Each structure stands twice: as C-alpha cells, then as structure tokens.
Amino acid sequence: MQKQLAIGYQQSCGISRARLFRTMQKLSGYNERLFRVVTEKDYGAREASLCLPDDLHILRESEYVRSRVANNELKYVILVGIGGSSLGTEALYNASFGHYDAIDPTRKPQLIVLDTIDPLFAKKLSAFLQSHVHHPDDFVVNVVSKSGGTMETQLNMQWLLQQLQRRFKCIEQRLVITTDADSRLATYAKQRGMHLLTIPKQVGGRFSVFSTVGLFPLSLLGIDTRELRAGARDMRNKCLRTPITKNIAALSASVLFLQRRAGKFIHDTFLFAPALESLGKWYRQLLAESIGKKPSAGITPTISIGSTDLHSIAQLTFAGPQHTMTTFVTHGERRASLTAIENGVQRAYTHAKLPFMEIVLPNSSPYSLGQFLQFKMLEVMYLGHLFGINAFNQPAVELYKKEVRKILAK
C-alpha cells in the first residue's frame, strides 16, 4: 500500500463540526451520481473525466503512439498548447523534474512548452533548435487543442512546422496531434499522416490531465503514467465509496464553500515545496474557471510558495482584511528546519483564528501527484454542486473572444 494523501482541518476556524457535516451531507446525492458515472463509464456526463483513470483504451492509445515516436535519442518534447492543454502536463513534469532543469541540464528528455505568443521566445527557440536538434529522433512535437481552433496554438504550430520542415523531411511523423475526434485539426492531422490522439467529447481542458492530453506527453517524458492513474483511481474510489462525511474531497469543498459564505473570497494555496508551483497554477485555472460563474460563487485562487512568500503573504493575511482561506500543501519529504517554519506558521494562523486546511502530500511520486490532482478535481465538482452552478463550462470567455475576432476581422 502506497502512502496516502491526508488532509487536516482546524475546528477552531469558526465553522462548527455540525454545520460542516450538514454541508457535506448535501453532497451525498451528487456523490451517488458521480459513483454512477464511474461504474457506468458514462462518457456522456459532464463529469466524464472521472472515468479516465481506469480507461484502458486511452492508456493504450497513448502508449501506442508513444511506442511509435519514442527512442533512446529523444531529447525534447515540444508541447504546443495553452491553458487546459498544457498546465496539467507542466504541473506534473515540473513537480517531478522540470523545476530543477536549470541545474540538471543533462537529464533528457526535457519539456519545452509553446503556449502564448512571444516573439522573443520564438526567436530563441529557433536558434536553440538549430544548435541542439540534428535529427528527427531528437524531438517530438505534441500539439494539443481540444477544439482544434485555439488561436495561439494554431499560430505556434504553423511557425514551428515552418522551422522544422526547412531542415527535416517527413517531419509529419514527429508530430502528434491531440484534439477532439471531430475537429478540423483532427482532419488535418489525418490528411498529413500525423499521429492523432483524441479527447473524449465531454472532458474539458481543465479536467483533461488523465486523458491523452496528459498521458501521452508525460509517458514520453519518463513519468510513470500507470502510477499516476493508480493514484487518481485510488483517490477517486476512496472518495466515492466511503460515507460522505469521511470523504476528504467533500470536506475540502465544504470548508471552501462555508468559508466563502463567511466572506473568504480568496483561496490561497500555500505550497511548501517550490517544485509544486506549477501544480498550484493548474489548480488556479481549475478553481477560477470552474467556479467563477456568478457573483455569489466565484473564489479567487492565489498561489504562494513557502517559505519564499511567507513574509509578504503573512503580513497581508494577519493584518489585512481577512478575506483569505488558506490551504497549506506540505510535502512529506523535507528538512526539519522547513517543518519548523510550517508548524510555526500554522500555530500563528490558529492563534489569529485565520481559517486553514492542510494537505499533506507524502512525496512527489506520480502516485501522490495523481492523488492530489484527482482530489482537487473532485473538490471542484463538489464545490460546483454546493454553489448550484455548472462547473464544466466557461461562457464568459466568449465575451472577450468575440471582441478579438472583431479586431482580427478588420
């Protein structure tokens, strides 16, 4: 039995145990729905992402394409994608290796992400590819776009293809396209003979890390995706199969919900391990985009790193307007001195009656990280149910996209 992620919640934080339990119990019907989605493998449900951790088809699809492009010479996995298409992969890669790439430059393969549009990045990447990539086996390009039409991804893909086509023949075989089965990008990939991986229709970007979106690049990068899936599966099963009042994701969601009602508009995820910063960013997107649906629901996620941000964030949280609910994420493998700081901070929060939870991640193994990601996706689904909103769409994004299209049409 692998070490399990644990959660702690201070009863001193102004919410009675009885009230907390009543809120958790409100989730019991929804939890039954989630259980049904999983047992029936209901890919038509909004919560379809819960079926991914034991979907063998998706694992095999990813591993098959991996077997076609992997080799001992592979140096760079170039991921072209933005938001939900890249944040999960970056989170897992950085937590496992990437945070240390600058001081571990010979470890290969490395992940390079092309997300937004940055002319200087493009210029430097062009020179880098010229000097570091000499054979098609040196790299794989993975283009990830659920809709297939993401503007940044399209532009970056075209630019990158131009760069590579000049130098290598048959570049198509080094490209893997991950997209919806019915997108124009999928058609394009098939016409050009590129490898194609598909994403189940109902699985949105921010819930897609256990689909081909995450599994393929992560397995290529040397992360044990079977362990990742096992962590996710165990967490999911533990949450769905235990009584709701013992469900740790329901606990986390209920605390966030009640604290939000009590005026804690901000949820600070305070990670006491710098390598987990990208994990925080993944969660930031998940919480902001899923729950920001009406004035009484949105919670603003912030990400802090311990002990780097401690001075500034502690000063603000202790003395400022007390709008913040904190989740400390502590890492099982750390030095005693950092443990002393963590514990001292938590004691001071308790004395000041500042609400917080603690999530203890046993280590940075794929199994632990898989647990964490699944825990947070469940927490956000439960939160959506408590707030009475749809956690799976993003209607307001259209407000600015419409304006961008108008400008580009001119």
Choose the stretch contacting a copy of itself; rule: CB under 8 A; options: 187-195, 213-221, 369-377, 395-403: 395-403
Rule CB under 8 A: is residue 173 a binding residue for a copy of itself? Answer: no
Which residue, 112 or 177, is less far from a copy of itself as judged by CB? 112
255-284 binders of a copy of itself (CB under 8 A): 265-266, 273-275, 284
26-65 binders of a copy of itself (CB under 8 A): none
Instruction: Take residue 164 and report the two structure tokens written for it.
Output: 């590579």
How many Cβ atoms from other residues are within 10 Å of residue 364's Cβ?
Answer: 21
Task: Give 79's strand partners.
Answer: 113, 142
Rule CB under 8 A: is residue 117 a binding residue for a copy of itself? Answer: yes
In the complex, least distance from residue 272 CB atom to a copy of itself, rounded to whole angstroms: 8
Which residue, 55 or 90, is less far from a copy of itself as judged by CB? 90
Instruction: Please say whether the beta carbons of 77 and 109 come within 8 A.
Output: yes
Rule CB under 8 A: is residue 292 a binding residue for a copy of itself? Answer: yes
Q: Please identify which residue in 29, 243, 321, 388 interacts with a copy of itself, judged by CB under 8 A.
A: 321
Size of the site for a copy of itself (CB under 8 A): 97
Rule CB under 8 A: is residue 161 a binding residue for a copy of itself? Answer: no
Rule CB under 8 A: is residue 293 a binding residue for a copy of itself? Answer: yes
φ, ψ for residue 242, nearest 5 deg: -100, 160
In the complex, least distance from residue 359 CB atom to a copy of itself, rounded to whole angstroms: 18
Given the DSSP bridges, would you call strands 356-361 and 6-9 parallel, antiparallel or unpaired? antiparallel
In the complex, least distance from residue 56 CB atom to a copy of itself, rounded to whole angstroms: 31
Task: Give 7's strand partners.
Answer: 359
Rule CB under 8 A: is residue 315 a binding residue for a copy of itself? Answer: yes
In the complex, least distance from residue 198 CB atom to a copy of itself, rounded to whole angstroms: 21
How many Cβ atoms from other residues are within 10 Å of residue 80's Cβ?
Answer: 28
Choose the stretch contacting a copy of itself; rule: CB under 8 A; options: 2-10, 181-189, 228-236, 287-295: 287-295
Choose the stretch contacting a copy of itself; rule: CB under 8 A; options: 118-126, 134-142, 210-218, 240-248: 118-126
What are the residues whose beta carbons fall under 8 Å from the beta carbon of 196, sequence distance 6 or more?
176, 177, 178, 179, 186, 189, 190
CA distance between the termini of the chain: 60
Q: Please identify which residue in 305, 325, 329, 369 interacts with a copy of itself, judged by CB under 8 A.
A: 305
Q: Can you give 21-51 as a three-state secondary structure string? A: HHHHHCCHHHHHHHHHHHHCCCCCCCCHHHH
Rule CB under 8 A: is residue 135 a binding residue for a copy of itself? Answer: no
String of DSSP letters for 85-98: GTHHHHHHHHHHTG
Rule CB under 8 A: is residue 388 a binding residue for a copy of itself? Answer: no
325-384 binders of a copy of itself (CB under 8 A): 333-335, 337-338, 340-341, 343-345, 347-349, 351-352
Instruction: Please say whether the beta carbons of 254 and 386 come within 8 A.
Output: yes
179-238 binders of a copy of itself (CB under 8 A): 206
Choose the stretch contacting a copy of itself; rule: CB under 8 A; options: 166-174, 226-234, 367-375, 391-399: 391-399
Instruction: Please say whether the beta carbons of 80 and 202 come within 8 A.
Output: no
In the complex, least distance from residue 71 CB atom to a copy of itself, rounded to whole angstroms: 22
Single out the residue of 338, 346, 291 nearest to residue 318, CA to CA: 346
Distance from chain centroid for Cα 293: 20
